[in-house]
Structure 1
Amino acid sequence: MKYDMLVEGGQIPSGKVKVSGAKNSATRLLAASLLTDEPVRIRNFPTQLVDVVEKIGFIRKLGARVEVDDEREFLEILTPGLSCKTIDDWELPIRTTYLLTAGQIVRNGIARIPYPGGCKIGARGYDLHMMVWKALGCEVREEESYIQVNGSFRGGSVDFPISTVGGTENALMCASVATGTTEIRNAYITPEVEDLIDMLQQMGAGIENFGNSLIRVRGMGGLMRGASFEVMPDRIEALTWIVFAAMTGGDVYIKGVPFRHMKVPLLHLEEAGLDLYRNSHSVFVSGESIQGQGIQPFELACGTHPGVISDMQSFYVLLGMKANGISRTFDYRYPERIAYARELSRFNADAIACEPGKITTFGIASLKGADVTSTDLRGSMALVMAAFCADGQSRIKDVHMAMRGYNGLLDKLKTLGVHASLIETG
């Protein structure tokens, strides 16, 4: 389903909000649950995310049994078998389809997966995944509607030419069911990848990390054990609510903040003038959190964890629009991630300027209601936040992009005493 959102500006949030399980961990753990024929139970699972619903629907078609409890945020998965031969629709609008390969190969010696994000031959946004499958002993064919992988996984060496989160996750899952030992070089170990490693270890894989870029995996040589696991809290969602409260001057208690994975992002907020009240797992943001001189202008560069990652970029840009002066946010890893900034400028054309790798904001900016269009998941949420800070009504088109990353978004806004309405568009 596609949606637009209508927001009346000037609403100030107040109340408690709980951070859900991390999207970038949960969808990977769901795929890992297919590596066993024993029950897998996952707690703190963001069951209502669009990507989650799409992936659950697809793996049910493959043969997995999935019980979903939205209220308890709980999944139970049992996979007695998987068969790609029952699939007749290969359109799946998510990027992590490649993670569905290992569960099929370990059972059948053949896997068919949708092209990541629905892209067709020519886009080739999956070369590193093909490299993983080939390095571990399988053959790969690109068919018109799907990618087909044949063979069985054997331990080997995976040498990524660039650090890659998705490639690391794929290699970990394939190596965990392979026969023998695999070395993964130039890996990218994020907190969400650590979550996947912890669950795969619980399921029986022998995994050793050497720094942040070398992983050695001793495979099970077949199906793995069952597991009971809890998804880590979403560090990007936690940052979202902190910035939302700071920008609006609301009184918001945010529960479930993964502080140990957010040291550098939070340090940047503190240096911008936010005095955060916190305990070991929660933070309280109020009007008093902003020190006497207001939000201070800043410069920061997005990069890899443990720094400010690119998915967090839009929230610092948004904060810069409310700072006392000129702020600059750089992103040389994903320099073209600026389309959302052009949409933000519709709230105030003089408040923001962007070029590849660099976004400049001019504060303190007054924002006017606007019609804007979502360009990506996190950018879409930044547009929603800007709409609440603006004078007048705003329409955020294609806001379903934000709903891909924020579990129960409308309900969470309601718990904070602010309201938005959805309009179905397709």
Structure 2
Amino acid sequence: MTDLIHVTGGTPLNGRIRVRGAKNFVSKAMVASLLGDGPSELRNVPLIRDVEIVKGLLELHGVVVDHDREGGVLRMDSTAVDSAHVADIDAHAGSSRIPILLCGPLLHRLGEAFIPDLGGCHIGDRPINFHLDILRKFGAVVDKRPQGIHLTAPNGLRGTKIELPYPSVGATEQLLLTAVRAEGVTELSNAAIEPEIMDLINVLQKMGAIISVDTDRVIRIEGVKRLGGFRHTALGDRIEAASWASAALATRGDIFVEGATQPEMIAFLNTFRKVGGEFEVEDDGIRFYHPGGELSSIVLETDVHPGFMTDWQQPLVVALTQATGLSIVHETVYENRFGFTEALRGMGATIQVYRECLGGLECRFGQRNFHHSAVISGPTPLEAGEITVPDLRGGFSHLIAALAAKGTSTVHGIGLIDRGYENFTEKLAALGADFERP
């Protein structure tokens, strides 16, 4: 199968699809299994490339993994964890940033860890120094080598007190996975409290960890000497659900997303309604649809949870090109997330990006020369184009634009979309999309 797709737009997406476990949780729960000295079972696992990458990394380190792909069940036995060869880690990790999260668990289990140079989506700085600084505070010794970074813990890992300058999801995950077996108490201030983080805490508690979360973004962890395995069903992927919701809005369609849940999507649902979309919450999912008539322009600011999620922004911007008036979107989480709008402008959208903080409070990017605000003028008819996917969420946004546009678009690099959207071409077919993936 090639890395491109031909999409003929103009057809409303209608039908029912299923969303399984959250990409941003499942891979982290798989890493957590390394901490346990017994078998673990994770259910509701999606068929995405990130899962395959982490599965490969776990197997390299001696974890026995049984994957029921159709049933969405992963069984992981970490009884015999072992060191892996540098070249093998590098080959399996690819562009993923997951290896940095293996460091804490491997330091506990083996006394050492190695990570290759890291890749990932090019949407912002996302420095790994944050992670390395956290590991150093626990007592890790970091040795930077030509092939990557080697870590040791000659005196073991000990609890520490850390305040994050920004509630980073990755840094919070790193701390949790390291602190649960560190000696003593760890306190993290200004922690991320996203639903995926809370579900990771649920998993760690099932394994035997002692973790408390205060209302003021403070997480306290009392280290324990050993952890067991876990049995857990992953929470649904709220990013994928919102992406399909935005596709329904942009194409004037009607999509029932089985597995979508209201509590994790409240901020998105409010905004979806303000734009003019309608939704109905059922026991097994949420129906998202365009009720007809005009869509309304909005002023929107992304934020950490419980605010409007940055990963929801890109797909929704495509729908906002079809709204009447001027919409303002202020991105406060990633500094370079508006690169995807260039392709939309090439398809006929009227979008201007700015370095200033527009539509809300000043943010940490305001004085740093990043294009992190956008003004979208609509409605503008979209015309087919030739597009290259820049990153995971931007790529799905381009797919939505192609589905809404007049004519046949060619979208290159769609392999990136497979990283976070399970069987997305099968879902497009189920919704009646007109496409060909050669």
Which TM-score band applies after superposition, normalised by the shorter structure? over 0.9
The one of 390, 395, 402 equivalent to 1:380 is: 395
Matches within 5 A, 1:266-285: 266-285=269-288
* Secondary structure at 1:68 match in 2: strand
The structural deviation recorded for 1:419 is 4.4
> Does structure 2 conserve the Cα–Cα contact (< 8 Å) formed by 1:7 and 1:387?
yes
The structural deviation recorded for 1:85 is 4.2
Superposed CA deviations along residues 15-57 of structure 1, whole A, max 9, x for unmatched, are 21111211000111110011112111001111x2112212211
> Does structure 1 conserve the Cα–Cα contact (< 8 Å) formed by 2:209 and 2:223?
yes
Matches within 5 A, 1:354-369: 354-355=353-354, 356-369=371-384
Q: TM-score, normalised by structure 1?
A: 0.92
> Does structure 2 conserve the Cα–Cα contact (< 8 Å) formed by 1:297 and 1:326?
yes
* Secondary structure at 1:325 match in 2: strand
Task: Flag the 1:279–1:85 CA change in 2: closer, same or farther, 3 A.
Answer: closer
Give the unaligned 5+ runs of structure 2: 355-370
Partner residue in 2 for 1:225: 228
Partner residue in 2 for 1:192: 196
Counterpart AA for 1:188: A
The structural deviation recorded for 1:221 is 2.1
Counterpart AA for 1:344: L
Partner residue in 1 for 2:342: 342
Partner residue in 1 for 2:237: 234
Counterpart AA for 1:154: R
Partner residue in 2 for 1:22: 22
Give the whole-Å Cα distance in 2 for the aligned partners of 1:419 and 1:256.
Answer: 25
The structural deviation recorded for 1:105 is 1.4
The structural deviation recorded for 1:80 is 2.1
Give the whole-Å Cα distance in 2 for the aligned partners of 1:118 and 1:312.
Answer: 18
Give the whole-Å Cα distance in 2 for the aligned partners of 1:13 and 1:327.
Answer: 24
Given the alignment of the two structures, is residue 411 of structure 1 paired with residue 411 of structure 2, yes or no?
Answer: no
The structural deviation recorded for 1:2 is 7.3
Partner residue in 1 for 2:365: none
Partner residue in 1 for 2:252: 249
> Does structure 1 conserve the Cα–Cα contact (< 8 Å) formed by 2:54 and 2:98?
no
Counterpart AA for 2:99: T
Give the whole-Å Cα distance in 2 for the aligned partners of 1:212 and 1:77.
Answer: 35
Give the whole-Å Cα distance in 1 for the aligned partners of 2:136 and 2:57.
Answer: 25
Give the unaligned 5+ runs of structure 1: none
The one of 208, 215, 221 equivalent to 2:219 is: 215
Counterpart AA for 2:116: P
> Does structure 2 conserve the Cα–Cα contact (< 8 Å) formed by 1:96 and 1:166?
no
Give the whole-Å Cα distance in 1 for the aligned partners of 2:209 and 2:435.
Answer: 45
Give the whole-Å Cα distance in 2 for the aligned partners of 1:252 and 1:144.
Answer: 49
Partner residue in 2 for 1:43: 43
* Secondary structure at 1:153 match in 2: coil
> Does structure 1 conserve the Cα–Cα contact (< 8 Å) formed by 2:2 and 2:437?
no
Q: TM-score, normalised by structure 2?
A: 0.90
Counterpart AA for 2:299: E
Q: Structure 1 residue runs of 4+, over 4 Å off?
A: none
Counterpart AA for 1:198: N
> Does structure 2 conserve the Cα–Cα contact (< 8 Å) formed by 1:158 and 1:171?
no
Give the whole-Å Cα distance in 1 for the aligned partners of 2:50 and 2:129.
Answer: 22
Superposed CA deviations along residues 349-382 of structure 1, whole A, max 9, x for unmatched, are x522223121121211111110011111111000
Partner residue in 2 for 1:7: 7
> Does structure 1 conserve the Cα–Cα contact (< 8 Å) formed by 2:167 and 2:192?
yes
Partner residue in 2 for 1:96: 98
The one of 121, 136, 144 equivalent to 1:142 is: 144
Matches within 5 A, 1:108-147: 108-117=110-119, 125-147=127-149
Partner residue in 2 for 1:82: 81
Give the whole-Å Cα distance in 2 for the aligned partners of 1:162 and 1:14.
Answer: 40
Task: Flag the 1:81–1:420 CA change in 2: closer, same or farther, 3 A.
Answer: farther
Task: Flag the 1:382–1:85 CA change in 2: closer, same or farther, 3 A.
Answer: closer
Give the whole-Å Cα distance in 2 for the aligned partners of 1:307 and 1:281.
Answer: 24
Given the alignment of the two structures, is residue 326 of structure 1 paired with residue 326 of structure 2, yes or no?
Answer: yes
Number of residue pairs matched by the alignment: 414
Partner residue in 2 for 1:390: 405
Identity within the alignment, %: 30
Given the alignment of the two structures, is residue 265 of structure 1 paired with residue 268 of structure 2, yes or no?
Answer: yes
The structural deviation recorded for 1:285 is 3.0
> Does structure 1 conserve the Cα–Cα contact (< 8 Å) formed by 2:212 and 2:221?
yes
Task: Flag the 1:422–1:142 CA change in 2: closer, same or farther, 3 A.
Answer: farther
Cα RMSD of the aligned pairs, angstroms, is 1.9
Give the whole-Å Cα distance in 2 for the aligned partners of 1:166 and 1:332.
Answer: 16
Partner residue in 2 for 1:69: 68
